[in-house]
């Protein structure tokens, strides 16, 4: 299916967006725009994007990502969009009070006898940056346990704004040691980012990620994906909760009740966010906060630290940004099932790259760009990471498939990010030094 469900809440937000948009110009000028489409499919509200370019009586553009050409006739437009399988969407609509209202008749290429008709309404998408970004201090009082498009936003911000807030640990305990919510990676947010629309990319820059309490909770066993039969037998009695002391001043963690050989063991802390997500497509359901996907989620990647920048796909108006599941430090893979789970003090800025698709989570540090692959096995995650990075390089540097192979063959660095959750994670990193020489004259 090419449709996506939209919560009723979002329709209201879209309407709000319209109200903010101010007065509408004449029809042709108004039509020549980007639209957020909301439709009703057999009781499920869905939305998508309509991009129209108008030239005289001719219009062209994309409807739910499918190309179309059509005509403008006074306030009315007519076009037929084709998808990659040959299916068509015949659209008739009219502009009234700044809204586009109309009907769609969908026909499958192979199934012309089974066409389908539904109605829609569309509002224009406005991208306006404030002259001066705002800073928001946000104290969370509710914590969600699903990356859902239906949860009410806790704060609305603009691209460029910065937000300072806190997260509770994976078990729902805050910086004061108070349990606030049932465990399972409860999240701070969602934050609604103005102008972020399906098909855009949300950019989150983590400007501050700090410890705000002196202990973390972890386990002393190894997860199943890390243990073969023999090691599983050796580990059969392990898997108990352990407490780590966090020495914030010195930036190290040590076990509260260490075994004989770990008495002197300390490890430098590197606070990271285990979870950061946009709301996924609502028609795909609402994943619990232990899951991950193209929307980010519970990635448990230990390079999502202070200074890192995240790129995440936007699937719903406002993006609906969630974050949580702080770790004081975590080895690759989160081998204990729990890392050093703790509450965190978090500050970040948000931005939007319009009409840029991001097929999977991407991260940027001072030295590297990193593309994450998530899948049911490390083998699938590895392929997914490679494809994610290949797409990134092709978009930004226009490299041919052969050139991409040459780059990867000499510069690929793979890390295993996560083996403790339903999805395994692998990250392909490319050192930015390798990228500097990639833009040829032809590519500019």
Question: Is there a contact between 315 and 280 (Cβ–Cβ < 8 Å)?
Answer: yes
Beta-sheet strand order (sheet of 187-193): 155-157, 187-193, 321-327, 272-277, 296-298, 292-293
228 in contact with its own copies (CB under 8 A): yes
Nearer to its own copies, 66 or 380 (CB): 380
In the complex, minimum distance from the CB of residue 415 to its own copies, in angstroms, rounded to a whole number: 6
Judged by CB under 8 A, the residue of 78, 245, 356, 383 near its own copies is 383
Separation between Cα atoms, residue 282 and residue 280, nearest integer Å: 6
Judged by CB under 8 A, the residue of 265, 307, 355, 432 near its own copies is 265
382 in contact with its own copies (CB under 8 A): yes
354 in contact with its own copies (CB under 8 A): no
379 in contact with its own copies (CB under 8 A): yes
Judged by CB under 8 A, the residue of 11, 41, 202, 273 near its own copies is 41
Separation between Cα atoms, residue 325 and residue 290, nearest integer Å: 10
In the complex, minimum distance from the CB of residue 211 to its own copies, in angstroms, rounded to a whole number: 15
Contact partners, residue 273, CB within 8 Å, separation at least 6: 167, 206, 209, 304, 323, 324, 325, 326, 327, 344, 346
Judged by CB under 8 A, the residue of 69, 248, 262, 307 near its own copies is 262
Q: Which stretch binds its own copies (CB under 8 A): 53-61, 190-198, 250-258, 310-318?
A: 250-258
Other C-beta atoms lying within 10 Å of the C-beta of residue 355: 13
Nearer to its own copies, 211 or 335 (CB): 335
Question: Is there a contact between 289 and 143 (Cβ–Cβ < 8 Å)?
Answer: no
Question: Is there a contact between 371 and 388 (Cβ–Cβ < 8 Å)?
Answer: yes
Which of 359, 271, 345, 275 lies closest to 315, judged by CA? 359
Q: Which stretch binds its own copies (CB under 8 A): 12-20, 42-50, 126-134, 205-213?
A: 42-50
372 in contact with its own copies (CB under 8 A): no
Q: Which stretch binds its own copies (CB under 8 A): 19-27, 67-75, 286-294, 362-370?
A: 286-294
Other C-beta atoms lying within 10 Å of the C-beta of residue 91: 22
Q: Which stretch binds its own copies (CB under 8 A): 10-18, 156-164, 204-212, 261-269?
A: 261-269
Q: Which stretch binds its own copies (CB under 8 A): 19-27, 52-60, 277-285, 350-358?
A: 277-285
Judged by CB under 8 A, the residue of 108, 214, 247, 345 near its own copies is 108
146 in contact with its own copies (CB under 8 A): yes
Separation between Cα atoms, residue 178 and residue 169, nearest integer Å: 10
Question: Is there a contact between 122 and 35 (Cβ–Cβ < 8 Å)?
Answer: yes
Judged by CB under 8 A, the residue of 8, 110, 131, 366 near its own copies is 110
Q: Which stretch binds its own copies (CB under 8 A): 51-59, 122-130, 191-199, 251-259?
A: 251-259
DSSP 278: P
Distances 23 to 33, 99, 242, 397 between C-alpha atoms, Å: 14, 12, 61, 40
Judged by CB under 8 A, the residue of 56, 114, 131, 249 near its own copies is 114
Separation between Cα atoms, residue 325 and residue 327, nearest integer Å: 7
109 in contact with its own copies (CB under 8 A): yes
Nearer to its own copies, 138 or 408 (CB): 408
Contacts with its own copies by CB under 8 A: the residue count is 130
375 in contact with its own copies (CB under 8 A): yes
Q: What are 92's two structure tokens?
A: 């008739």
Residues 169-198 that bind its own copies (CB under 8 A): 171-173, 177, 179-184
47 three-state secondary structure: strand
In the complex, minimum distance from the CB of residue 365 to its own copies, in angstroms, rounded to a whole number: 16
291 in contact with its own copies (CB under 8 A): yes
Peptide bond into 82 cis (omega under 30): no
126 in contact with its own copies (CB under 8 A): no
Contact partners, residue 126, CB within 8 Å, separation at least 6: 17, 20, 21, 195
In the complex, minimum distance from the CB of residue 387 to its own copies, in angstroms, rounded to a whole number: 5
242 in contact with its own copies (CB under 8 A): yes
Separation between Cα atoms, residue 259 and residue 264, nearest integer Å: 10
Nearer to its own copies, 307 or 359 (CB): 359
Question: Is there a contact between 49 and 64 (Cβ–Cβ < 8 Å)?
Answer: yes
Residues 384-423 that bind its own copies (CB under 8 A): 384, 386-387, 390, 397-416, 419, 422-423
Separation between Cα atoms, residue 179 and residue 187, nearest integer Å: 14
Residues 47-76 that bind its own copies (CB under 8 A): none
């Amino acid at each position: 299916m090419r449709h996506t469900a939209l919560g009723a809440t979002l329709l209201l937000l879209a309407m709000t967006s319209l109200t903010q948009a101010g007065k509408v110009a004449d029809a042709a000028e108004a039509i020549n725009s980007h639209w957020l489409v909301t439709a009703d499919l057999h009781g499920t509200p869905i939305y998508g994007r309509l991009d129209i370019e108008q030239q005289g009586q001719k219009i062209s553009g994309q409807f739910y990502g499918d190309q179309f050409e059509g005509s403008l006739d006074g306030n009315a437009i007519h076009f037929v969009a084709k998808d990659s399988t040959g299916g068509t969407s015949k659209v008739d609509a009219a502009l009234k009070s700044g809204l586009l209202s109309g009907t769609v008749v969908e026909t499958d290429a192979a199934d012309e006898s089974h066409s389908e008709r539904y109605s829609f309404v569309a509002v224009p998408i406005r991208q306006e940056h404030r002259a001066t970004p705002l800073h928001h201090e946000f104290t969370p009082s509710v914590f969600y346990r699903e990356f859902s498009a239906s949860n009410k936003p806790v704060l609305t911000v603009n691209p460029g704004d910065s937000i300072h807030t806190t997260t509770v640990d994976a078990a729902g305990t805050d910086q004061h040691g108070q349990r606030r919510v049932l465990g399972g990676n409860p999240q701070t947010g969602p934050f609604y980012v103005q102008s972020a629309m399906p098909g855009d990319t949300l950019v989150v820059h983590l400007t501050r990620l700090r410890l705000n309490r002196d202990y973390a909770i972890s386990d002393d066993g190894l997860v199943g994906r890390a243990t073969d039969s023999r090691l599983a037998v050796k580990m059969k009695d392990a898997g108990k909760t352990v407490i780590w002391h966090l020495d914030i001043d010195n930036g190290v963690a040590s076990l509260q009740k260490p075994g004989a050989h770990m008495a002197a063991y300390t490890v430098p802390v590197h606070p990271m966010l285990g979870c950061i997500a946009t709301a996924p497509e609502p028609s795909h359901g609402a994943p619990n906060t232990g899951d991950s996907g193209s929307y980010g989620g519970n990635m448990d990647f230990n390079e999502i630290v202070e200074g890192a920048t995240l790129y995440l796909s936007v699937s719903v108006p406002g993006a609906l940004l969630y974050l949580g599941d702080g770790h004081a430090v975590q080895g690759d893979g989160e081998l204990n099932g729990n890392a050093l789970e703790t509450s965190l003090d978090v500050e970040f800025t948000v931005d939007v790259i319009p009409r840029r698709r991001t097929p999977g989570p991407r991260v940027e540090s001072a030295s590297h760009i990193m593309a994450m692959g998530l899948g049911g096995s490390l083998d699938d995650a590895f392929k997914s990471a490679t494809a994610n990075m290949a797409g990134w390089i092709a978009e930004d540097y226009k490299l041919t498939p052969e050139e991409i192979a040459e780059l990867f063959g000499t510069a690929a660095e793979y890390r295993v990010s996560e083996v403790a959750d339903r999805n395994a994670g692998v990250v392909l990193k490319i050192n930015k030094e390798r990228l500097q020489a990639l833009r040829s004259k032809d590519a500019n």
